[in-house]
Amino acid sequence: MAILKILQYPDDRLHTVAVPVAKVTDKTRLLIKDMAETMYAAPGIGLAATQVDVHERIIVIDISEEHNQLLVLINPEIVANSGQSDYEEGCLSVPGIYGKVRRAESITVQAIDADGKSFVLDAQGLLAVCIQHEMDHLVGKVFVEYWSALKQARALAKLKKKQRSIM
Ligand code: QAP
Ligand code: CO
C-alpha cells in the first residue's frame, strides 16, 4: 500500500482526459487500493485517478462516517439524471477552497467494480454530487472552473498565498 501524491490546482495535468480501463487487472486493483488509502489518509470523501496523475477512468468514494463503505467506479457513465442541487463542494486538489456548484440532484450511474463486474447505482444528495464531481476530474474539469472568472481568480489568489506561507 502507498499514499500517492495528489496533484494541486492549478496543475495542467488536472486537465488531462482519462481513457477507459480496457481490462480490470491486479494492477488496476493495486491502484484502487492506493487511491483509497490516499483518500482516507487525506481525509477526503472522493478521489479520481486523474488527481494522482493516472489518466484512466477510475474513481473511489466513501461518504460514510465510519470510512467503511468504499465505492469503486471504473468507466462510470451517467445514464439518467434529474433535478438540480447547489451543494458546497471542496476538492483534495484545491485545499481550503469551498463553494457551490449546480449539478443534478439524482443520477443513475453505470460502472464496473474492482472485480470487473458491471453494475448500476442510483444516487441522490451528497453521493450524487460526489460522483459528478469525480467524473468531472476524468474529463479534466475541476469544480472551481464552473465559477465566474472573478471567483476563480479569488480562489487562485488564496491558494497562492497559502502556498507561499508554507514555503
Ligand atoms: C469531492 O472532496 C466533493 O479543502 C471530494 O483542506 C466534496 O474529499 C464532492 C478536502 C464535497 C462533493 C462535496 C478538501 C480535504 C476534501 C479540503 C474531498 C481540505 C481537506 C475534499
Ligand atoms: Co476533486
Per-domain boundaries in the chain: 12-166
Ligand nearest to the Cα of 101, by number:
1
CA–centroid distance, 131 to ligand 2, in Å, is: 10
Per the structure block, which three cell numbers stand in for 30?
493495486
Mark the residues whose beta carbon lies below 5 A from ion ligand 2. Answer: 91
Tell me the whole-structure pTM to 2 decimals: 0.98
Alpha-carbon distance 37 to 22, whole Å? 24
165: CB partners within 8 A, 6+ apart: none
Amino acid 1: pLDDT: 80
Burial label, 65 (beta-carbon count in 10 A; 0-12, 13-18, 19+): exposed
Active site residue ranges: 134
Query: Could you say which of 3.30.230.10, 3.90.45.10, 3.40.50.10800, 3.40.50.300 is the CATH number of the domain covering 12-166?
Result: 3.90.45.10
pLDDT band at 162; cut points 50, 70, 90: confident
Ligand 1 pocket: which residues have CB below 6 Å? 42, 44-46, 87, 89-92, 95-96, 129-130, 133
Atom 11 in ligand 1: residue holding the nearest Cα: 89
Burial label, 60 (beta-carbon count in 10 A; 0-12, 13-18, 19+): buried
**Lookup result for grid cell 474539469:** 141
Condensed to tens digits (0 to 9), the pLDDT of residues 47-77 reads 999 999 999 999 999 999 999 999 999 999 9
63 φ, ψ (degrees, to nearest 5)? -100, 5
Alpha-carbon distance 40 to 93, whole Å? 14
pLDDT band at 163; cut points 50, 70, 90: confident
In single-letter form, the type of residue at position 127 comes to L
Q: Where are the alpha helices (DSSP H) in 3-124?
A: 26-41
